[in-house]
Structure 1
Amino acid sequence: MTNILPSDHPKLPTRKIGVLIANLGTPDGYDYWSMRRYLGEFLSDQRVIDYPAWKWQPLLQLVILSKRPFSSGAAYKSIWNEEAGESPLMTITKSQTEALREQLRATLGDHVVVDFCMRYGNPSTQSKVDQMIKDGCDKILFFPLYPQYAGATTATANDSFFAALKSAPWQPAVRTVPAYFDNSNYVDALAQSVERAYANMDVRPDHLIASYHGMPKRYLMQGDPYHCQCQKTSRLLKERLGWEDGHIVTTFQSKFGPEEWLQPYTVEEVARLAKSGKKNIAVIAPAFSADCIETLEEINEEIKESFEEAGGETFTYIPCLNDDAVHIQALASIVQDNLSGWIK
């Protein structure tokens, strides 16, 4: 029996499944006010900085956001995609989205909609969730592109996604993709990127530095699994490459504030290695799905400088997986696994 809607019934779109990938975010520009808006949103997130608001906000608004937009803006300017008028993270995320869309269309058809959002800045999670619902997505798979889970990354992205559903008159069924730090396809994509880089080097590095974004050590002690998942990714990468213990050194970067963070700190460890006679190193950033300010500026400029000033000679940065075909295949495989039961 065919259901016939009355003539005055609102038009219903064809039902679809949405796949919404999420990354950290990016300022709209490197000018002072763009940087201030972006940093203000980012550093006001209680998942990122968990100090009491009464204590943190005056310091943030009156001191940090008066000065930091200038230094951060200069760093962004040094890596900005001037041709596209956007940060490299935005350019790469757009490319990843298009590649993933094509990959999933080939296997799942046109009824799966793929798009991206940013936790901070634009396009916002709210705007993309609203658009997917408007386009007829009655099921949405939310995919934070963080291989290792952390409260300050995966959890806050999920928080933003769930908050976006509050205003929906008809909420879709939803799922979130869990951390994929030990996914064999992801680890293989990392390994292949290392193998390609090493194949083009005249001298084999003394060590491969696996530099992960840091966090306060206090978060680990409170139960955040990030540190353990980073260590496991490094171990699985070593095993996949068939290397002996010691060749991969796990470190943590981007320390902020006065308290102790996860150690060893990348910027200090590369200097220590150089002073100990390790003159050739390579650095990879397994926690980042796309190159961004922390890799293109911090690793490839600040951390490189620390190594060379300590006597290091050859510093090779191995780019993030970005839109590499093997990476996109890995992400597509993870998506399909998490769509189980939704796709016939």
Structure 2
Amino acid sequence: MSRFRPEPAFRHGVAPRIGVLLVNLGTPDAPTPSALRRYLKQFLSDDRVVEIPKPLWWLILNGIILNTRPKKSAHKYESVWDREGSPLAVHTKRQAKLVRGYLGQAGHPGVEVLHAMRYGNPSVGTQLDALRAAGCDRILIVPLYPQYAGSTTGSVADALADWMRRCRNLPELRMLRAFAGDAGYIDAIAASVREHWQRNGRADRLVISFHGVPRYTLDRGDPYHCECHKTARLIAERLALTPEQYFVTFQSRFGRAEWLQPYTEPTLQALAREGVKKVDVICPGFVADCLETLEEIAIECHQAFIAAGGKDFSYIPCLNERDDWIRALVNLVERQASDWLASPAPDAATLERSAKRANALGAKT
């Protein structure tokens, strides 16, 4: 049996069509132990995510983690799940819809924009198939990870490579690497903080929390740590903060190994014990709210800060569907695909002549 998937029927004289795929990390299909087990098995089986020798990790994952963690994680997901589903999936789907609409308003109505999840549904391969079926032969992949890490953006590239291995007629492909210092992205975050300050007053400290990764990834050459600090520095510059007014921390530690430090929750507890009464927290490593922001930060870290003596804790939401962020995202797409978008579509007469020539050549052969 051939490893290649069936290709869409080839159509002569059809203008090239552009597709854009926004990719986020992923989410279970439901806040249930069985759904979490499927999701965690896929996620934690990726050797980009866990760099432990496979035989040893297989025993740990299947013998311990998948038998204990799904029930606990399901309870956490249930606390943030809403009527439309997982917040991450809901926001990412809306972002794709808005990007498509904004591109249409900008004079690019033929661009197809879909969203995918690296783990869970809809998968990267499924959505790439959908773009190909829609006639897209130029596809831009946009991982929604502002800061590059091998375990995130690198893993999206792996999923793309797996799909390409099964594709006979490859489209023209591009992938955005990162946008840690993109001006539109930074401006949108800074604007969200200013708006929060206007409504609620300025906190004593701003904590800028990023998702953590194991420390050894930095030692082995992963640029994620540096890109996080770049983003934080640019946000602080936009907000005119001094080094004493903000902290860069890392959250979501998993396992016993050392991860990037300082850790978010212990930092918040230490600030409270030192007499800091009011903190604001942002998570610029996420462009859509999810379990790690809505449960870990807005609930768990909030409780930890108050329990340690703090008085006022505010989590400032992710960019989600903010207009300035969507416009920044559209601008990223336009820059990455500028030559594609600039190519004029052939008129009907040209298409008809091309089709006739192709059909005549086909008849001769």
Following superposition, the deviation at residue 217 of structure 1 comes to: 0.7
1:26 is aligned to: 27
1:293 is aligned to: 291
Q: Return the letter of the residue paired with 1:341.
A: D
Q: Return the letter of the residue paired with 2:289.
A: D
Structure 1: 5+ residue stretches without partners: 1-8
Following superposition, the deviation at residue 52 of structure 1 comes to: 1.0
Following superposition, the deviation at residue 155 of structure 1 comes to: 0.6
| Structure 2 residue corresponding to 1:265, chosen from 255, 259, 263 | 263
Following superposition, the deviation at residue 10 of structure 1 comes to: 5.2
2:353 is aligned to: none
Output the CA distance in 2 between the equivalents of 1:115 and 1:308.
41
Following superposition, the deviation at residue 167 of structure 1 comes to: 1.5
Determine whether 1:255 maps to 2:259.
no
1:140 is aligned to: 139
2:355 is aligned to: none
1:6 is aligned to: none
1:172-321 map, 5 Å: 172-202=171-201, 204-321=202-319
Following superposition, the deviation at residue 108 of structure 1 comes to: 3.6
Following superposition, the deviation at residue 62 of structure 1 comes to: 1.4
1:68 is aligned to: 69
Query: Over aligned residues, Cα RMSD in angstroms?
Result: 1.2
Output the CA distance in 2 between the equivalents of 1:201 and 1:343.
42
Q: Return the letter of the residue paired with 2:266.
A: E
Secondary structure of the 1:270 match is helix
Determine whether 1:15 maps to 2:13.
no
Out of 105-114 and 275-284, give the one that drifted further.
Answer: 105-114
Output the CA distance in 1 between the equivalents of 2:118 and 2:176.
16
Q: Return the letter of the residue paired with 1:323.
A: E
Output the CA distance in 2 between the equivalents of 1:277 and 1:174.
53
State whether residues 274 and 310 of structure 1, in contact with CA within 8 Å, keep that contact through their aligned partners in structure 2. yes
Identity %: 43
State whether residues 14 and 136 of structure 1, in contact with CA within 8 Å, keep that contact through their aligned partners in structure 2. no
Output the CA distance in 2 between the equivalents of 1:179 and 1:109.
23
Out of 301-310 and 311-320, give the one that drifted further.
Answer: 301-310
Following superposition, the deviation at residue 14 of structure 1 comes to: 5.0
2:47 is aligned to: 46
Secondary structure of the 2:152 match is helix
Question: Deviations along 1:121-141, whole A, 9 cap, x unmatched?
Answer: 000001011111111111100
Out of 110-119 and 263-272, give the one that drifted further.
Answer: 110-119
State whether residues 108 and 341 of structure 2, in contact with CA within 8 Å, keep that contact through their aligned partners in structure 1. no
Output the CA distance in 1 between the equivalents of 2:295 and 2:216.
27
Output the CA distance in 1 between the equivalents of 2:11 and 2:277.
67
Question: Deviations along 1:272-327, whole A, 9 cap, x unmatched?
Answer: 00000001000000100100000000001111111111001000000000110000
Q: Return the letter of the residue paired with 1:255.
A: R
Following superposition, the deviation at residue 30 of structure 1 comes to: 1.2
Question: Deviations along 1:250-287, whole A, 9 cap, x unmatched?
Answer: 00000011111100000100000000000100000010
Which contiguous aligned blocks of 4+ residues in structure 1 show a shift greater than 4 angstroms? 9-14
Asked which structure has the greater CA Rg, the reply is 2
State whether residues 206 and 280 of structure 2, in contact with CA within 8 Å, keep that contact through their aligned partners in structure 1. yes
1:89 is aligned to: 88
Secondary structure of the 1:151 match is coil
Structure 2: 5+ residue stretches without partners: 1-8, 343-365
2:363 is aligned to: none
Following superposition, the deviation at residue 343 of structure 1 comes to: 1.8
State whether residues 212 and 230 of structure 1, in contact with CA within 8 Å, keep that contact through their aligned partners in structure 2. yes
State whether residues 282 and 316 of structure 1, in contact with CA within 8 Å, keep that contact through their aligned partners in structure 2. yes
2:347 is aligned to: none
Following superposition, the deviation at residue 162 of structure 1 comes to: 2.1
Question: Deviations along 1:3-43, whole A, 9 cap, x unmatched?
Answer: xxxxxx85456531111010001100011111100000001
State whether residues 140 and 337 of structure 2, in contact with CA within 8 Å, keep that contact through their aligned partners in structure 1. yes
State whether residues 129 and 165 of structure 1, in contact with CA within 8 Å, keep that contact through their aligned partners in structure 2. no
